[in-house]
Amino acid sequence: MSETSATLLPVTEPLPAPAPARLVDVASLSMEALARFVTEELGERAFRAPQIYRWLHQRGATSFDEMTDLSKALREKLRTKAEIIPLVKDVELRSSDGTIKYRWKTRDGRYIESVYMPTEDRRTLCVSTQVGCAMACGFCMTGTMGLKRNLTPSEIVAQVHAVNREVRKNEGHETLRPLSNLVFMGMGEPLHNFENLKTALAILQSQDGPNFSHRHITVSTVGLVPMIERFGKETDVKLAISLNASTDEQRSKTMPVNRKWNIAALLDACRKFPLRQGRRITFEYVLIQGFNDADEDAHRLIDLLKGIPVKVNLIPYNENPGLGFHSTGEERAEQFRAILADGHVAAYIRRNRGRDIAGACGQLANTGEQQAGAESPT
């Protein structure tokens, strides 16, 4: 055989092995997306989708084996193409006021927090939407972490399922959903993770899921002005604004977002926000000693909020070690509230929860991230 013909022989090097098929995070799917997955990927009839969905989001199933009204063959098929990714409880701290703070570990070794706050008439969970936060608010421990990543819809919803299980176990409730209220005021800026938040809200409000009322869900933002309009158009839950200052100079010192969207732009978005009849926007105002708690601040706040249906939650600062801010005392907080009330602004002093268990947002998770970093090989 000639040299020329030899060069035409095919090369017989082994081909690389195909990449393993990626499993679908089934608990992140909306009902519509799950129905498509069930019919198109699993080849099953559409009625199976609500069955699976109810197991995931009414009962909070963490494995396909729990889905006992599905055939073994279907459960096996699910295992080959889908997965459920539960959060792992890493730390639980109990406060003398009944608050319980949970630190969860994600599958990739990150840490997030949820805070359970029971009262006589409600059981509220504060939910995280991101690992860390990009907003860098100067008084917030989460802000010191930077943004590690967004949480998936399933990781957002899994906090609710996990705490429902905890409350059932700890308090002896038979109902599958003892939680009554959700506030998205934990780690992260919810509107910075809007698409995943919107999917999670749809799951949490669905009749085949936990079926929370829109009246019992509040989402807080530091003031991402363009996203406030989208939030109003694409969801129906309540809006809270983290204001925390009465002048742009003040707010820009502690909330860098104000340098892009100042107080005037933020309040203009609030005035345009679609409100259901009788609804109000909640403004959160963290009272920091000697920074934003003067009489002049209260009077400016009255002027700023004119024309907006509002209530103001005054929140004594939950001190974070090392950040250099201190909480306003009870007497000063009451004086501040009284000025707002005299100016016809509905204002309430919100009792600070979990002060004895690192209750401020991000304290536990930040510690976990630092420990994980110290243990990682360099």
In a domain, 5, yes or no: no
Query: Residue 275 annotated as binding?
Result: no
pLDDT at position 183 is 98
Nearest alpha carbon to residue 241 among 119, 249, 257, 250:
257
Helix (H, G, I), strand (E, B) or coil at 87: coil
Question: If you compute the radius of gyration of the chain from its CA atoms, what whole number of angstroms results?
Answer: 24
Backbone phi, psi, residue 323, to 5°: -90, -15
CATH code at 73?
A: 1.10.150.530
Q: Which of 44, 270, 361, 369 is catalytic?
A: 361
Instruction: Give the pair of three-digit tokens for residue 32.
Output: 């519509």
- Report how far residue 370's alpha carbon sits from residue 144's, in angstroms, rounded to the nearest whole number: 11
In a domain, 9, yes or no: no
pLDDT confidence band for 31 (50 / 70 / 90): very high
- Report how far residue 75's alpha carbon sits from residue 63's, in angstroms, rounded to the nearest whole number: 10
Total count of domains within the chain? 2
**Percent with pLDDT over 70 in the chain:** 88
- The last residue of one of the domains, among 57, 83, 109, is 83
pLDDT at position 319 is 78
Instruction: From residue 103, give the alpha-carbon distance in Å to each of 4, 116, 173, 369.
Output: 68, 11, 23, 11
Sign of CA dihedral 17, 23, 24, 25: negative
Average pLDDT over residues 45-56: 97
Asked if residue 341 lies in contact with residue 335, where contact means CB atoms within 8 angstroms, the answer is no
- Report how far residue 252's alpha carbon sits from residue 233's, in angstroms, rounded to the nearest whole number: 28
Query: Residue 188 annotated as binding?
Result: yes
* Residue 230 sits in the same domain as residue 310: yes
* pLDDT for residue 377 is more than 50: no
Asked if residue 103 lies in contact with residue 361, where contact means CB atoms within 8 angstroms, the answer is no
Query: Residue 243 annotated as binding?
Result: yes
pLDDT tens across 163-173, in order? 999 999 999 98
* Residue 206 sits in the same domain as residue 221: yes
pLDDT tens across 272-319, in order? 999 987 789 999 999 999 999 999 999 999 999 999 999 999 998 887
Domain of residue 202 covers 88-357
* pLDDT for residue 18 is more than 60: no
Query: Residue 318 annotated as binding?
Result: yes
Question: pTM of the entire structure?
Answer: 0.89
* Residue 54 sits in the same domain as residue 168: no
* pLDDT for residue 6 is more than 90: no
Residues 6 or more apart whose CB falls under 8 angstroms from that of 26 comprise 34, 37, 52, 56, 78, 82, 83, 84, 154
Residues 6 or more apart whose CB falls under 8 angstroms from that of 335 comprise 295
Amino acid identity, residue 201?
A: L
pLDDT at position 21 is 67
pLDDT at position 364 is 57
* Residue 145 sits in the same domain as residue 191: yes
Q: Is 113 a catalytic residue?
A: yes
In a domain, 286, yes or no: yes
Helix (H) or strand (E) holding 71: none
pLDDT tens across 214-259, in order? 999 999 999 999 999 999 999 999 999 999 999 999 999 999 999 9
Asked if residue 245 lies in contact with residue 286, where contact means CB atoms within 8 angstroms, the answer is no
Q: Which of 44, 113, 284, 319 is catalytic?
A: 113
Nearest alpha carbon to residue 49 among 74, 72, 73, 21:
74
Query: Residue 2 annotated as binding?
Result: no
**CA angle 55–61–66, rounded 5-degree value:** 85
* Residue 207 sits in the same domain as residue 101: yes
In a domain, 374, yes or no: no
* Residue 69 sits in the same domain as residue 122: no
- Report how far residue 63's alpha carbon sits from residue 72's, in angstroms, rounded to the nearest whole number: 13
Residues 6 or more apart whose CB falls under 8 angstroms from that of 145 comprise 131, 132, 133, 362, 365, 366, 369
**CA angle 169–117–61, rounded 5-degree value:** 40
Query: Residue 133 annotated as binding?
Result: yes
Average pLDDT over residues 259-265: 98
**Percent with pLDDT over 90 in the chain:** 80
Give the distance between the most distant pair of CA atoms in the chain: 103
**CA angle 244–357–254, rounded 5-degree value:** 20
DSSP state of 327: B
Q: Is 76 a catalytic residue?
A: no
CATH code at 191?
A: 3.20.20.70
pLDDT tens across 85-132, in order? 989 999 999 999 999 999 999 999 999 999 999 999 999 999 999 999
pLDDT confidence band for 5 (50 / 70 / 90): very low
pLDDT confidence band for 9 (50 / 70 / 90): very low
In a domain, 257, yes or no: yes
* Residue 236 sits in the same domain as residue 272: yes
Q: Beta-carbon neighbour count of residue 307 at 10 Å? A: 9
In a domain, 282, yes or no: yes
pLDDT tens across 356-368, in order? 776 556 555 665 5
